[in-house]
Chains A and B, each alone.
Chain A
Amino acid sequence: MSSNNSHILSRRAFIRNSSLAGGGLVIGFNLFQACKPKVIAEPAIDLSTLDYNDFNAFIKIADNGAVTIFSPNPEIGQGVKTSMPMIIAEELDVAWKDVYVEQGILDTENYTRQVAGGSQSIRQGWDALRQTGAKARHMLVGAAATRWGVDPSECTVSDGVISNAAGETLGYGEVVNEAALLEVPEEVELKHPKDYKIMGKDATNVDIEKITSGKPLFGLDYKADGMVYASVVRPPSFGHKLVSYDDSEAKGMPGVIDVVTIGEKVRSLLAEDPGFSSKISSSDKVVVIAETTWQAFKAKEAIKATWEEETPMESTEQHDEILTALLDGNDFNTMRSDGNVKKAFAEADQVLERTYESPFLPHNCMEPMNFFANVTEEKVHLAGPIQTPAWKAGLVAKMLGRDEKDIHLEMTRMGGGFGRRLYGDFVIEATEISDKIKKPVKVVYTREDDMEDGIYRMAIKYRIKAGVKDGKLTAYHLKEAAVNDNMYGLIPNFFPAGAVENYQVDAASYDSNITTGAWRAPYTNFLAYAEQSFFDELAEMMEVDKIQFRLDLLQNVKGTTDERIQYSPERMEEVIKLAVEKSGWGTKAAGVYQGFVNYYCHNTHVAEVADVEIENGEPVVKKITCVVDCGIVVNPTGALNQIEGGVIDGVGHSMYGELQFKDGKPMANNFDGYRLIRMREAPVVETYFVENEFSPTGLGEPTLPPAGGAVANALKAATGNRLYKQPFIKSPELLKVPEKEIIG
């Protein structure tokens, strides 16, 4: 084991930005105007020399008052390793600069929902994390009060120091031993948001020192004594199955330790858990074991494998036809139905129907998939980047026929997740390999493995039809045709559900052998663009103002008693109005073309306005104004980072993202053939929060879906063309700017 196990943790630098408060209802941030926060570089402290008392699963306090808070959830870049401990520290009432943060291990007894997914860590952790901190504070105060012989209500706390009416003080470290023996209270009073000292102020990423100085943090950096590296020869196409292989050349290459096959354990797992079959190939795979990563990669190329077609090889062309046929057919599951859309369409004065198309997308985490496993008689040690540690530990136990208590899982920081690391097919692989070779092993994907053996965002088509009678939207019918899986059950209750009297959502799917799964903001990452483009076109047909059209729809939902409706019309109205104001909607000088979107997903209300300008005859996305209602903002700098990243990711994938298949094989396998958004294409993002005291909601996903729609609507304004297909770059003829606009 190298320095990954070091107990020397350099104290993270920490930013306070005292200029956060803006006027009135809204706190506004603009990166280029924000005043310069101060960074305090703290000296490194050897935590192993401190005498710690475990207080509860989240908190330990040393005799000298130093506090360590364990962050329970996996960190994929969404910032919870910083923000979850902030919530505990706030209620514990310690100074944030005195807090050390460590990643908790998988511990299903003491932590709940150790998952990075669905933008739920903060929302679902909110009450429990606050209570954890507050209960500890309550007990510490109780211990101090007992020592002084006073009533706890006579004591006050600030920054980890307890005071009594007589002016005596005790630090948390001085009473922690007694406090830890007290009974844990059932539920204690929590702070009012106006009294927050940590939340609402910028706290720099707790791993910032390690990230900026290149310390080991990620799964790929993880090393253990005796660890060997594995590189896996995977089926070249979806549908292929291994027949035989020749490893004679590979076995003679430098550093190669062994060549084995895996697959048996995966198949036994799939027999028990067939749901996982859309996430992993059941074919045997050839595994090269070597002393170093590069030796494993090289020897893998020297394996001569023979494959046979087990199931048909699919192509993008086929998917295109199949999805269209599904939309044209009648084989749907109805996911929500209000009124009678058929009747309303028959009676309508005007009908609009449009179809929107999206491609497969790989996740392309910057850190390629990898995982460490060491299966021994005594225990199963797993370590690496995984969004769903408990689920994977359970599968590993099942696969090996072991008790779940034998599985010890360490979560490393992840070089991105985006949904790909929910599935942990690589954990299963690493475990089967280690079990077979009886060694600690890390399986490492090449970038090509990562892109060619993905669990992709599936291709989807939406067909939306609207009926208008007497100038009013009377019918709305959304049909989804998707590869493998359809939208989850809450989505049909998003906007505009409840706003249209006759409303129906239908879904149909086609079973493919290409592995698919969740991709940042599943379904809505494409649906938002489809619906919001459609709303604009509908407003144009109805000859009504695009914003007023949306606000009028929201009026219909106010006071609804329909508990299935997921969004709040009032909160949606607020983000819309604020976005209109902050983006200068309708007041821009000639040459700036704007597109509007309002959206709700992952419990967060968002409105975005894209500004497109013409540069060298080409439309360019220059800026996105983003208004967010996520309730209380726990860590503004982290929140802004998520918002900006989500928006630019949404712009990038709607503009450029696409993975095509031919003969069951992805047509790109690295960044020379797959375009991700880069620096020059990244717009400025200007963010405004709606200020309120609602419980916080997550930000990893909800700003991504609206971005594609805002861009499409702005491009329509600039070019006169509607875009029905992602990525937009695929329709260059529709991105041309009319001559008069260039001259103008």
Chain B
Amino acid sequence: MPTYQIKVNGASQTVDVSEDTPLLWVLRDHLDLVGTKYGCGIGQCGACTVHVDGVAMRSCSLTPAQVDGKSITTIEGLSENGIHPVQEAWKEVDVPQCGYCQAGQIMTASAFLENNPNPTEEDVKNAMHGNICRCASYTRIRKAVMIAADNMD
């Protein structure tokens, strides 16, 4: 099997996987980073969202070759001790119900706020529309992203 060099949460990793192995499963099964979740496998739900060179992407739909040499951030590496403003806002609002989709929600929100530090609520709705929360914690996600925006500058 081919080997790939990927940088995950600041650490360089060599992974030896078949070329069609989605980044999602490289992270979960090979690197033991299980914070990135499997939801649909076809880029429809957002549970597997990670940052690739700072851009929010669906790790279920990325091959190792597509991220070879790139810098990947997962929920585990978003901040030390989980204190990124988005994570803090999630705690403050007590967003999760089951919690399964929330890593993906947080990764989408944090990449979005990086480029849109002063969003309107409409902007937030549009940015978060691609991430499904089956428990429908949408009103709290909305609120938490707005709070995080306030606290990020």
Q: Is B one of A's binding partners?
A: yes
Task: Tell which of A63-71, A124-132, A279-287, A643-651 binds the partner.
Answer: A643-651
**Of the residues B21, B87, B136, contact of A649 by C-beta under 8 Å:** B136
* Interface presence of A31 (CB below 8 A): yes
CB pair A213–B94 under 8 Å, yes or no, is no
What residue of chain B has the Cβ atom nearest to residue A210's Cβ? B99
* Interface presence of B100 (CB below 8 A): yes
CB pair B99–A413 under 8 Å, yes or no, is yes
* Interface presence of A603 (CB below 8 A): no
List chain B residues, Cβ under 8 A from A508.
Answer: none
What residue of chain B has the Cβ atom nearest to residue A444's Cβ? B38
CB pair B132–A447 under 8 Å, yes or no, is no
CA distance A211 to B93 in the complex (A): 13
Known A220-B38, A221-B34, A679-B129: A294·B44 in contact at CB below 8 Å: no
CA distance A15 to B92 in the complex (A): 7
Main secondary structure of the interface of B (DSSP, over half): loop
Known A2-B32, A293-B29, A670-B44: A413·B132 in contact at CB below 8 Å: no
**Of the residues B33, B34, B87, B93, contact of A220 by C-beta under 8 Å:** B34
CB pair A214–B33 under 8 Å, yes or no, is yes
List chain B residues, Cβ under 8 A from A418.
Answer: 134
CA distance A615 to B30 in the complex (A): 48
List chain B residues, Cβ under 8 A from A642.
Answer: 97
With an 8 Å Cβ cutoff, the count of chain A residues facing the other chain is 73
List chain A residues, Cβ under 8 A from B103.
Answer: 211-212, 214
CB pair A367–B37 under 8 Å, yes or no, is yes
* Interface presence of A343 (CB below 8 A): no
CA distance A295 to B36 in the complex (A): 18
CB pair B37–A220 under 8 Å, yes or no, is yes
CB pair B75–A214 under 8 Å, yes or no, is yes
User: Mask for B87-112, Cβ within 8 A of A = 1, else 0?
Assistant: 11011111011111111001000000
List chain B residues, Cβ under 8 A from A37.
Answer: 92
CB pair A366–B37 under 8 Å, yes or no, is yes
Known A77-B97, A366-B39, A671-B44: A679·B138 in contact at CB below 8 Å: yes
CB pair A298–B39 under 8 Å, yes or no, is no
User: Mask for A213-229, Cβ within 8 A of B = 1, else 0?
Assistant: 11111101101000001
Main secondary structure of the interface of A (DSSP, over half): loop
List chain A residues, Cβ under 8 A from B141.
Answer: 679
CB pair A36–B132 under 8 Å, yes or no, is no
* Interface presence of A365 (CB below 8 A): yes
List chain B residues, Cβ under 8 A from A79.
Answer: 97
List chain A residues, Cβ under 8 A from B140.
Answer: 31, 641, 644
List chain B residues, Cβ under 8 A from A217.
Answer: 99
Number of A-B contacts (CB under 8 A): 203
Q: How far is the CB of B94 from chain A (nearest CB, A)?
A: 5
**Of the residues A208, A417, A644, contact of B90 by C-beta under 8 Å:** A208
CB pair B38–A211 under 8 Å, yes or no, is no
CB pair B139–A671 under 8 Å, yes or no, is no
User: Mask for B131-153, Cβ within 8 A of A = 1, else 0?
Assistant: 11111111111110001000000
* Interface presence of A204 (CB below 8 A): yes
List chain B residues, Cβ under 8 A from A209.
Answer: 82, 91
**Of the residues A3, A76, A652, contact of B98 by C-beta under 8 Å:** A76
List chain B residues, Cβ under 8 A from A39.
Answer: 88, 91-92
CA distance A441 to B102 in the complex (A): 27
CB pair A208–B44 under 8 Å, yes or no, is no
CB pair A367–B98 under 8 Å, yes or no, is yes
CA distance A79 to B97 in the complex (A): 7
Known A214-B74, A220-B38: A13·B91 in contact at CB below 8 Å: yes
CA distance A671 to B106 in the complex (A): 20
CB pair A212–B34 under 8 Å, yes or no, is no
CA distance A3 to B87 in the complex (A): 21
CB pair A670–B87 under 8 Å, yes or no, is no
CA distance A647 to B37 in the complex (A): 25
**Of the residues A294, A295, A637, A684, contact of B139 by C-beta under 8 Å:** A684
* Interface presence of A41 (CB below 8 A): yes
List chain A residues, Cβ under 8 A from B38.
Answer: 220, 293, 368
CA distance A682 to B124 in the complex (A): 13
CB pair A649–B91 under 8 Å, yes or no, is no
CA distance A641 to B131 in the complex (A): 18
Q: Point out which of B44, B143, B147 has the most chain A C-beta atoms below 10 A from its C-beta.
A: B44
Known A680-B126, A680-B129: A414·B98 in contact at CB below 8 Å: yes
CB pair A366–B25 under 8 Å, yes or no, is no
List CB contacts (< 8 Å) of A365-424 with chain B: 365-368, 413-418
Q: Point out which of B37, B128, B134 has the most chain A C-beta atoms below 10 A from its C-beta.
A: B134
What residue of chain A has the Cβ atom nearest to residue B93's Cβ? A31
List chain B residues, Cβ under 8 A from A637.
Answer: 94
CB pair A365–B138 under 8 Å, yes or no, is no
User: Mask for A580-597, Cβ within 8 A of B = 1, else 0?
Assistant: 000000000000000000
Would you list 16 pairs from A and B whose C-beta atoms are within 8 A, ordered by A residue? A32-B143, A36-B147, A39-B92, A41-B91, A77-B97, A205-B99, A207-B99, A213-B78, A214-B36, A292-B30, A293-B38, A294-B25, A294-B29, A366-B132, A415-B100, A652-B136
The 10 closest A-B pairs by CB, nearest first: A214-B35, A77-B98, A415-B100, A214-B75, A213-B82, A648-B136, A682-B138, A211-B99, A671-B44, A77-B97
Interface residues of B (CB under 8 A from A): 1, 18, 20-22, 25, 28-30, 32-42, 44-45, 47, 74-76, 78, 81-83, 87-88, 90-94, 96-103, 106, 125-126, 128-143, 147
Give 7 A-B pairs besides A36-B92, A212-B87, A212-B106 with Cβ atoms closer than 8 angstroms. A78-B97, A202-B94, A366-B37, A641-B137, A671-B40, A671-B132, A679-B138
